[in-house]
Structure 1
Amino acid sequence: MKVEIWSDVMCPFCYIGKRSFDSALAQFEHQDQLEIVWKSFQLDPNLPDVPVEDQVDYLQKRKGMPREQIEGMLHHVTDHAKRVGLDFRFDQLVMVNTFKAHRLIQLAKEKNLGHEAEELLFNAHFVEGKNVADEATLIDLGEYIGLNVDDIRAAFYDDKYSYQIKQDIQEGQSLGVRGVPFFVFDRKYAISGAQATEQFTQTLDKSFSEWQSANPTRRLDVSGGDSCATDGSGAC
Structure 2
Amino acid sequence: MKISIWSDIRCPFCYIGKKKFETALERFAHKDNVIVEWKSFELDPDLKTQPHIGTIAYYADVKGMGRQSAEQLFGNATQMAKEVGLDFHIENAVTANSLNAHRLIHFAKTKGYEEVMGEALLSAYLIEGKNIDDITYLADLAGAIGMDKEETTKMLVSDEYTYHVRQDQMEAKNIGVNGVPFFVLNNKYGISGAQSPEAFLQVIEKAWNEYEKENPTLEITKGDSCDLDGNCN
CA apart distance, 1:50? 4.1
CA apart distance, 1:234? 10
In structure 1, the partner of 2:207 is 207
CA apart distance, 1:208? 1.1
Distance in 1 (alpha carbons) for counterparts of 2:212 and 2:144: 36
Structure 1 contact 13–181 (Cα < 8 Å) conserved: yes
In structure 1, the partner of 2:162 is 162
In structure 1, the partner of 2:58 is 58
In structure 2, the partner of 1:183 is 183
Give secondary structure in 2 for the equivalent of 1:115: helix
Distance in 1 (alpha carbons) for counterparts of 2:147 and 2:218: 36
Runs ≥4 residues deviating over 3 A: 157-160, 224-227
Distance in 1 (alpha carbons) for counterparts of 2:214 and 2:226: 35
Distance in 2 (alpha carbons) for counterparts of 1:180 and 1:215: 30
Structure 1 contact 49–134 (Cα < 8 Å) conserved: no
Are 1:49 and 2:46 matched, yes or no?
no
Distance in 1 (alpha carbons) for counterparts of 2:226 and 2:54: 71
In structure 2, the partner of 1:15 is 15
Structure 1 contact 39–168 (Cα < 8 Å) conserved: yes
Structure 1 contact 50–133 (Cα < 8 Å) conserved: no
In structure 2, the partner of 1:121 is 121
Distance in 1 (alpha carbons) for counterparts of 2:3 and 2:225: 41
Task: Tell me the matched-pair count.
Answer: 232
The 10-residue stretch of structure 1 (57-66 or 193-202) with the greater mean CA deviation from structure 2: 57-66
In structure 1, the partner of 2:146 is 146
In structure 1, the partner of 2:34 is 34
Structure 1 contact 37–114 (Cα < 8 Å) conserved: no
Distance in 2 (alpha carbons) for counterparts of 1:225 and 1:50: 66
Distance in 1 (alpha carbons) for counterparts of 2:197 and 2:169: 26
TM-score after normalising by structure 2: 0.91
Give secondary structure in 1 for the equivalent of 2:201: helix
The 1:98–1:223 alpha-carbon spacing in structure 2 relative to 1, beyond 3 Å, is: same
CA RMSD of aligned residues (A): 2.2
The 1:184–1:62 alpha-carbon spacing in structure 2 relative to 1, beyond 3 Å, is: farther
Counterpart AA for 1:165: V
In structure 1, the partner of 2:77 is 77
Instruction: Give me the identity figure in percent.
Output: 41
TM-score after normalising by structure 1: 0.90
In structure 1, the partner of 2:111 is 111
